[in-house]
Structure 1
Amino acid sequence: GNIKLCYFQLNGTQNKDEEYISAAKSIAKLVCENNTMLSAAHLFVCKGIPASVHMTNNLLGYQESAYTYPFLDMIGVTPSIFKNRFVIQNNCYDITSPYIASKIGENTDQEDTRLGFHTVLDQDGLTAPKIPVSKLPDISYSQMIIPQVISANYYGDNNDVGFDTMEFVAQVYGELKTTHMGGALETYLQDCIDSMAGYANYYKYQDFITIVDDDKTYGAYPIDSNAIGGGVGYKDIYTTGDYIVYSLTDLKLAASIAKPGEVIYVPEGVMIEMSDNSAGTVDTIVLRQGIILASNRGYVHEDGTVSTGGVIRCSMVQRLGIIRLLDETRVTGLVIRGPDPASHLQLWDRCFKGKTSGRGHQPGHDYLANATPSVGLLVRGDNIVIDNCEASGFSSSAISVSTNQNNFSSRGLKVHHSYIHHNQMKALGYGVTHGLGYSEIYCNLFNYNRHSIAGGGQPESGYKAYSNIEMGESVGHYFDMHGGGDRRDGTDIAGEYVEIYNNTFLGNKPPYTMRGVPTSHQYFYFNIVYNPRTAFSENSLKRDNVTIGYNIWNLQAGNTKPTYDLNNGS
């Protein structure tokens, strides 16, 4: 019952049929007898005429009139073909009210709508088959397992590695012929789940996300009752709004008339496409002051199922972003999906490998721009909140922070309790990136970004990042702030300040890299880092105005004790 197009596709040859000379010749013979064919599909798709068709004693799921015979549309072919070449007789149709019918080689005036042209009824009133009903067994669980990472967006970075591992586990488990799964198999199974879902090291080290030593807390920890990354258990989930939207037209209208404090709600199961591929255009929605755009990511229904949230997506690359946020707006509980989750490593090689000259803009950047980097949320105001969202698939940045409406550095942005991943185009690829603007970024899950947090390093910019979890995968170092050398402005300034504390970094990349000097300060303390301190060069971590406090390094080797960095910058 799952065939979609046709049962038999008959291609034609370059030769013409001897009898119907305008039609192409196909195969010599087709025999179809005593088959059950229940799909809502055509019997034939023909580009030529077979020399012989013998189709008898079959059970077909639908009424005979539902099946067409496209060779009758070929020039010169007449119903007489059912007399001498095509025997389509004594077949049973309509499994719910069965009857037997046959094709004949002449026209028939049909009053019976169950029959098509050139068909006669052979036998009616047959008994429909009875399908036995089996009651499903009652299944109960001692504990309802709810995933900690709530995601609507899946990307196969590791191709079939996870599935290959799963197949290996199943094979070994079968060979053991036991109902008990040993520790090694459990490890393999967890590996394939992590690989397929893109969890990296998150579940392997979930017992070491937070470590308490001497009454001091290291690594990421929930600052309130909400889980890091949002989702299940989030306390401030919307389930309706002042404007409930199901399409781009609805969304544009609601955004144009909504007042401060009103909620535009995208229900779960709704996917709003912001681009028109046929026209080559992408819409940008502007949320004016005080408007809330919401869905219900993490909402748990009575039956235990969990909503991943309504989706606003863009399937075309674009530079201007799909949602522009002005003062005091909020985006919460939504999935923001971009068009390009790939890392584009080969593109980077073509642009820059062996062709760079110092830091900053290179000729390869002009070539890279042809890829048309994509952007998700545009922060263009003060006191904006982005929370309990999933944002992924943007080659430039999922969240881009810049000036407010008065053209000053935006302030008061809070990005929290969200899952931000697969924004990883090499040379770009940011989770949250700053131009002229300041932000507070906390309680998020990050994975598969080039830099999860970054900045252009302008003097009027900075961020605080705390209680975030880097799950492990990244194209480059996790957090970043450019220096004057990147901008080629004759300075060494890397923003006003950067504060990185109580984060957990579960991968091999550096937690951050110094590319200049902040005008005020940069702090790095109470973090947990996967690799040892010696794995990173001094120049990458230390410059003037930088303080590295107590942190736990080398988690991968089992270390859970903090050390203090004595050689801090002045």
Structure 2
Amino acid sequence: MTQYFTNERVLECLEGREIGGGVGHRADVGLADADVIVESRSEFFAALGSSADVIGIPGNARIDLSGRDFTIRGQTIVSDRGVDGSTGALLYTTDHGKDSPAWDGGSSGRGVITMRGGSRISGVRFRGPYHDHYDDPEYPGYIPLDSGTASERRRKRERRYARGMRILHDDVEVDNCELYGWPNQAMAIGASSTAVSPHVHHVYGHDCMMVGAGYVVDVFNGHPTIELSYFNATRHSVNGFGFPTCGYTLEDCVFGPSTYSHAVDMHCLAENGYSGDLTAGGRVEVRRCTFAFTHSIRGTNCQAIAFRGYPDDRYVTDDNRFLHAVDGSFENPANTGRQPVPYRQVNVGSGWHGWYASGNQYGVGERHRSGIGAPINLDDPMDGKPLVDEERRRALRAALTTLES
């Protein structure tokens, strides 16, 4: 199935805009606010152990975190992604595997970075160990199911495990960052006994795609707000565990054309070891988001959203743009996959349960409607795009020439 939009087309539309951060977005913290500027691994870890509140890393720096995992509390790590075209400093690890620092403590443990109260990461690139994985012919970044017995497959998967960050406090912010190459999660939020509600915004998350995992944001417990971000090439871009206290708010985000499965997901507890419990999260809100796909990388029909049970509160899907064509209302396909519809509710039989949808736009070929979907027009990359300096100069010269004539 040929993609209606390509990742290159989406990035072209996003260039110079706020969504995804970078050029077009100006964070409210920068290198000028830093108490200390670091450029090497030793300087970086020394600053983490100091009294510095804001640690700045120049955009040309590359810091290898391999062999380490660490916690930040009450500190901000900042670089200059988007300033004068900078891509931001690169923080990266080559660690992977269930005994590595990138998987410290296992599925309920930490990642490379544990973020606690008063911490923030802004304007950096944070790269995992699988940013250059090329085994799969359909999509090079996808880590497919291995061959062999179930135990052999499990061992192979465990050798790949890696998590970028674990967020364990409400007062945490991740913004203006590029997160990629994480086979399990770029970020995991909360824990079974810890519900937290951090703020994630202006993030570009991509190439986190492993069978059975592959998330940019994985919400174990709590209710993060995720805004103005671009996600592409994931298994699920945003996922939830299923606790009644587990949910999220997605606003003004774009989900790109490369996906292995639906982009927005909420498990039910029965799928995570709570036998027979079909609770699938508390409250989930998806507003003004754009889903730029109808098919998976395998060419099969693929929904944008799947919630896998009953909400303890409700599901809200308002004013989104789906490329899936819908003729009036449509029935919930429930556990029957591969249906060419924008969303489904699983494990509930027929009908919709606690699901409220209004104002959504469906199908391709229609003009982008203002206020529907993210503030981006995939049909016209220049629609509403701020002029860059050279364009402004050309426009000004043209206006002056007109006046002089």
In structure 1, the residue matched to 2:41 is: 248
Asked whether the equivalents of residues 145 and 211 of structure 2 are also in contact (C-alpha less than 8 Å), the reply is: no
- Alpha-carbon spacing, 1:297–1:466, altered in 2? closer, same or farther (3 Å): same
In structure 2, the residue matched to 1:228 is: 19
Shift of 1:502: 0.3
Asked whether the equivalents of residues 31 and 57 of structure 2 are also in contact (C-alpha less than 8 Å), the reply is: no
- Alpha-carbon spacing, 1:507–1:248, altered in 2? closer, same or farther (3 Å): same
Structure 1 residue 340 corresponds to structure 2 residue 130? yes
2:82 to 298, 311, 315: 298
Shift of 1:558: 3.4
Shift of 1:274: 0.8
In structure 1, the residue matched to 2:381 is: none
- Alpha-carbon spacing, 1:203–1:377, altered in 2? closer, same or farther (3 Å): closer
**RMSD (Å), alpha carbons:** 2.9
Identity of aligned residues (%): 24
Report 1:120-199 matches (<5 A). Answer: 199=7
Shift of 1:369: 3.6
Corresponding residue SS for 2:47: helix
Shift of 1:329: 0.9
Find the aligned partners of 1:533 and 1:371 in 2 and give their Cα distance. Answer: 42
In structure 2, the residue matched to 1:85 is: none
In structure 1, the residue matched to 2:90 is: 311
Asked whether the equivalents of residues 54 and 78 of structure 2 are also in contact (C-alpha less than 8 Å), the reply is: yes
In structure 2, the residue matched to 1:541 is: 344
Corresponding residue SS for 1:386: strand
Shift of 1:537: 5.2
Asked whether the equivalents of residues 294 and 334 of structure 1 are also in contact (C-alpha less than 8 Å), the reply is: yes
Deviations 1:106-136 (A, max 9, x none): xxxxxxxxxxxxxxxxxxxxxxxxxxxxxxx
Find the aligned partners of 2:331 and 2:127 in 1 and give their Cα distance. Answer: 34
Q: Which has the higher contact order (CA 8 A, sep 6+)?
A: 2
2:360 to 551, 562, 566: 551
Deviations 1:245-291 (A, max 9, x none): 122221211111235xx10111111100011xxxxxx2012111x21
Shift of 1:487: 1.1
- Work out the number of aligned pairs and report it: 324
Shift of 1:368: 4.9
Deviations 1:509-559 (A, max 9, x none): 32111211110000111000112137995325244111122211112x436
In structure 2, the residue matched to 1:331 is: 121
In structure 2, the residue matched to 1:266 is: 57
Asked whether the equivalents of residues 347 and 368 of structure 1 are also in contact (C-alpha less than 8 Å), the reply is: no
Scaled by the length of structure 1, the TM-score of the pair is 0.53
Corresponding residue SS for 1:252: helix
Asked whether the equivalents of residues 143 and 210 of structure 2 are also in contact (C-alpha less than 8 Å), the reply is: no
Shift of 1:370: 2.6
Deviations 1:334-368 (A, max 9, x none): 1101111348669643369xx9xxxxxx8687345
Structure 1 residue 431 corresponds to structure 2 residue 216? yes
Find the aligned partners of 1:525 and 1:493 in 2 and give their Cα distance. Answer: 22
Find the aligned partners of 1:351 and 1:482 in 2 and give their Cα distance. Answer: 26
Find the aligned partners of 2:191 and 2:273 in 1 and give their Cα distance. Answer: 21
1:238 to 21, 26, 30: 30
Asked whether the equivalents of residues 279 and 311 of structure 2 are also in contact (C-alpha less than 8 Å), the reply is: yes
Find the aligned partners of 1:314 and 1:443 in 2 and give their Cα distance. Answer: 26
Asked whether the equivalents of residues 18 and 202 of structure 2 are also in contact (C-alpha less than 8 Å), the reply is: yes
1:491 to 277, 282, 291: 277
Find the aligned partners of 2:134 and 2:271 in 1 and give their Cα distance. Answer: 21
Asked whether the equivalents of residues 228 and 417 of structure 1 are also in contact (C-alpha less than 8 Å), the reply is: yes
Shift of 1:450: 1.0
- Alpha-carbon spacing, 1:506–1:343, altered in 2? closer, same or farther (3 Å): farther
Find the aligned partners of 1:310 and 1:329 in 2 and give their Cα distance. Answer: 18
- Alpha-carbon spacing, 1:351–1:515, altered in 2? closer, same or farther (3 Å): farther
2:263 to 478, 482, 487: 478
1:283 to 68, 73, 77: 68
Asked whether the equivalents of residues 128 and 162 of structure 2 are also in contact (C-alpha less than 8 Å), the reply is: yes
Q: Please tell me the residue identity of whatever aligns with 1:504.
A: T
Report 1:395-406 matches (<5 A). Answer: 395-403=183-191
Asked whether the equivalents of residues 146 and 153 of structure 2 are also in contact (C-alpha less than 8 Å), the reply is: no
Gapped runs of 5+ residues in structure 1?
Answer: 1-190, 210-224, 276-281, 301-305, 356-361, 563-570
In structure 1, the residue matched to 2:170 is: 382
Asked whether the equivalents of residues 344 and 426 of structure 1 are also in contact (C-alpha less than 8 Å), the reply is: no
Corresponding residue SS for 2:259: coil
In structure 1, the residue matched to 2:290 is: 504
Runs (4+) off by over 2 Å:
233-237, 341-352, 362-372, 533-538, 557-562
Find the aligned partners of 1:388 and 1:247 in 2 and give their Cα distance. Answer: 22
- Alpha-carbon spacing, 1:497–1:248, altered in 2? closer, same or farther (3 Å): same
Shift of 1:395: 0.3
Shift of 1:390: 0.5
Find the aligned partners of 1:307 and 1:536 in 2 and give their Cα distance. Answer: 47
Gapped runs of 5+ residues in structure 2?
Answer: 97-101, 105-110, 137-141, 295-301, 335-342, 346-351, 371-405
Shift of 1:408: 2.6
Find the aligned partners of 2:344 and 2:309 in 1 and give their Cα distance. Answer: 11
